[in-house]
Amino acid sequence: MNPLSSEDSPISRRQALGLIGGAVGALVVVGCGSGDASTDGSASSSSSSSGSSSSSSSSSSSGSASSSCSVTPEGEIGPYFADDSASGFDRSDILSNLDGTDTQTGVPLSLSIYIVDTENDCAALEGAQVDIWHCNAEGVYSDIAAESTTSETWLRGYQLSDSNGLVSFSTIIPGWYEGRTTHIHLRVRSKYSEASSTSDGTNTTQLFFPQALIDTLNSSVAPYSSHGANSTTNASDRVYSEQTDGETLLTLSGSTSSGYSASYTVGLPITS
C-alpha cells in the first residue's frame, strides 16, 4: 500500500526551529537500558538522548516523569487512524483482536510512555488518552477497508496516563509497507487536544527504530524476513527526516530472540 500524507510542510521542522532561534529543545528518548540496537539485534544498556543541541532529563528509576523536558515534534497522523475510543480498546496488550483472536506474531516490544506538561514545569499529566496503532510484521493495518481488515482490531489500543503520566503497551516491532520506514503512530488526547476527528492531526507523532535493527529484522528474523528489505530507510522517510528530524528515534534494550523494551517521554503540547 501507498499511504497518503495527511499534511505536508513547505519547510522542515529543523528549518523552522532555526528561524525562531532554537527555542524548542529536543525530545528525550530513553531505553529501559540503553543505546541503539546493534546489527546482530542486541542492544546495550546505557540511556541516551536524541542528539539535539538541547538536553532533557530521562524518566527516573522510580518510574516517575522527568523533571526537565522539551516539546515533542509533531509527526503526521497518517491515513490509518481509527477513532477506537470504545472501552474495549482501553488495554495494555494490543497483540490480538478485542475478542482475543488472531494474535499477531513478531519480535515482542514493551513500550512505556510518559506524558509531561511542558507548560506546567514538566509535571506528569494524569488522565491523558494515549492511542497507539501500527502495522503488523507484514506491513498490514487492522480495521482498514483498503486492507480488507475492517473486522480486525489487533495492534490498536489506548491507555489513560496514571499519576506518574505513564502508560504501557505490550506489542511487537512493526514491519513496513511501501513508501514508509518502520514506525509506530502515537496520539495524545488531553487538555491540549480533545478533538476526535480523524483529520485532526494535532498532538500526534511517530516513533522510529534504529536502522541497524530494521535491517537485521528484514534480512534474517521471521516473520519480517519473508517481506524482505525495505527500500525506504529512516533517512529517506519523509516523517523521520522532514517532520521529526530523527528526534523520535527509540532507544531499545533487549534482543531479537527475547524481545525489546523502550521508554519514551512525550512533552505536550506536541508541535510542528
Whose cell is 540496537? That residue is: 37
Rounded CA gap, 26 and 233, in Å?
Answer: 22
- Give pLDDT, residue 52: 35
- Give pLDDT, residue 84: 74
With beta carbons less than 8 A apart as the criterion, state whether 215 and 254 touch.
Answer: no
- Give pLDDT, residue 201: 62
Q: Tell how far CA 137 is from the center of its chain.
A: 16
Rounded CA gap, 249 and 210, in Å?
Answer: 7
pTM of the model: 0.78
**Positions in the chain whose pLDDT score sits under 50:** 1-64, 66
Q: How many residues in total does the chain contain?
A: 272
Task: List the Cα angle 127/141/174 in 5-degree steps.
Answer: 80
- Give pLDDT, residue 161: 98
Q: Is 157 exposed, middle or buried (0-12, 13-18, 19+ CB in 10 A)?
A: buried
Rounded CA gap, 157 and 24, in Å?
Answer: 30
- Give pLDDT, residue 117: 97
Rounded CA gap, 137 and 158, in Å?
Answer: 20
Q: Name every residue whose Cβ is closer than 8 Å to that of residue 44 and which is 6 or more positions away in sequence.
A: 33, 34, 35, 38, 253
- Give pLDDT, residue 133: 97
With beta carbons less than 8 A apart as the criterion, state whether 50 and 246 touch.
Answer: yes
Rounded CA gap, 259 and 219, in Å?
Answer: 17
Rounded CA gap, 194 and 202, in Å?
Answer: 10
The residue type of 38 is S
With beta carbons less than 8 A apart as the criterion, state whether 169 and 108 touch.
Answer: no
Q: Name every residue whose Cβ is closer than 8 Å to that of residue 254 and which is 6 or more positions away in sequence.
A: 33, 42, 43, 260, 261
DSSP state of 19: H
Distances (CA, A) of 267 to 58, 114, 208, 251: 12, 9, 17, 17
